């Protein structure tokens, strides 16, 4: 593997973990008084849920970066798949908006990101690199399954967020729409359905992450 892609991957990790993300799109809503109608308990709940969502976006950066790296790297005598890499990188850039939005909302709520973000990033990067090594169909299938699970997770947050937290709700709703579109795009590009045990393991890993990130 050439050194340049590895350096780019390392740079992406450092930027995700330690440099404030910049969104290319405006945040879905920026109310003048985003927490005016929230009690302390509601603010804490919103903060915990948005921390989980922020972790999800940290993982998304790692997954897309790793899968694009695998697509650009020759493997098993196969040439780099630059078209797939470009698709993954484009989706990753859109996920950067989500990263910026969720961090901004955490700041507004007076909540902090997960203390374990480097661990989440490393784990997701490893999974993305592994999925990418199985070829385009599996890599895209991994995207489809990941985005479907994230979409369902975000839908559950719409039920759990305080009714008065319109700022968080607007962000989560836009994220949900984006994730569903990423899944459709990956499906059209040739994704294969992952085996049921693999999908089950992905759900179990996501459950561990969301449970821990809710508090830590």
Q: What is the pLDDT of residues 128-153, one digit of tens each?
A: 999 999 999 999 999 999 999 999 99
The DSSP line for 83-152 is HHHHHHHHHHHHHHHHHHHHHHHHHHHT----TTHHHHHHHHHHHHHHHHHT-HHHHHHHHHHHHHHHHH
The number of C-alpha atoms within 13 Å of 44 and in the hemisphere containing its C-beta is: 4
* Neighbour tally for 163: CB within 10 Å: 9
Cβ neighbors of 182 (< 8 A, separation 6 or more) are 91, 94, 143, 147
| H or E stretch covering 204 | helix 196-213
- Nearest alpha-carbon partner for 148 in 140, 160, 136, 158: 140
pLDDT of residue 83: 87
pLDDT band at 78 (very low <50, low <70, confident <90, very high): low
Mean pLDDT, residues 82-106 taken together: 92
d(C-alpha 166, C-alpha 186), whole Å: 30
Average pLDDT, rounded, for the chain? 90
More confident residue, 103 or 1: 103
Domain 3-13+38-213 has CATH 3.30.70.20: no
DSSP H helical ranges for 31-81: 40-72
Asked if residue 90 has pLDDT above 80, the reply is yes
The pTM assigned to this predicted structure is 0.91
Cβ neighbors of 187 (< 8 A, separation 6 or more) are 140, 144
Asked if residue 173 has pLDDT above 80, the reply is yes
């Amino acid at each position: 593997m050439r050194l340049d892609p590895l350096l780019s991957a390392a740079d992406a990790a450092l930027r995700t973990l330690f440099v404030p993300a910049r969104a290319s799109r405006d945040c879905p809503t920026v109310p003048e008084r985003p927490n005016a109608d929230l009690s302390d308990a509601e603010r804490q709940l919103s903060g915990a849920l948005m921390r989980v969502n922020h972790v999800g976006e940290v993982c998304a950066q790692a997954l897309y970066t790793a899968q694009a790296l695998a697509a650009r790297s020759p493997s098993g005598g196969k040439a780099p798949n630059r078209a797939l890499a470009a698709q993954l990188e484009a989706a990753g850039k859109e996920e950067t908006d989500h990263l910026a939005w969720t961090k901004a909302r955490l700041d507004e709520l007076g909540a902090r990101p997960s203390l374990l973000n480097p661990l989440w990033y490393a784990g997701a990067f490893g999974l993305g690199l592994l999925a990418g090594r199985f070829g385009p169909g599996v890599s895209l299938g991994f995207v489809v399954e990941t985005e479907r699970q994230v979409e369902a997770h975000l839908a559950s947050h719409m039920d759990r967020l305080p009714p008065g937290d319109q700022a968080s709700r607007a962000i989560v709703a836009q994220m949900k729409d984006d994730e569903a579109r990423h899944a459709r795009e990956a499906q059209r590009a040739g994704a294969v359905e992952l085996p049921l045990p693999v999908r089950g393991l992905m759900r179990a890993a996501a459950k561990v992450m969301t449970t821990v990130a809710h508090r830590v």
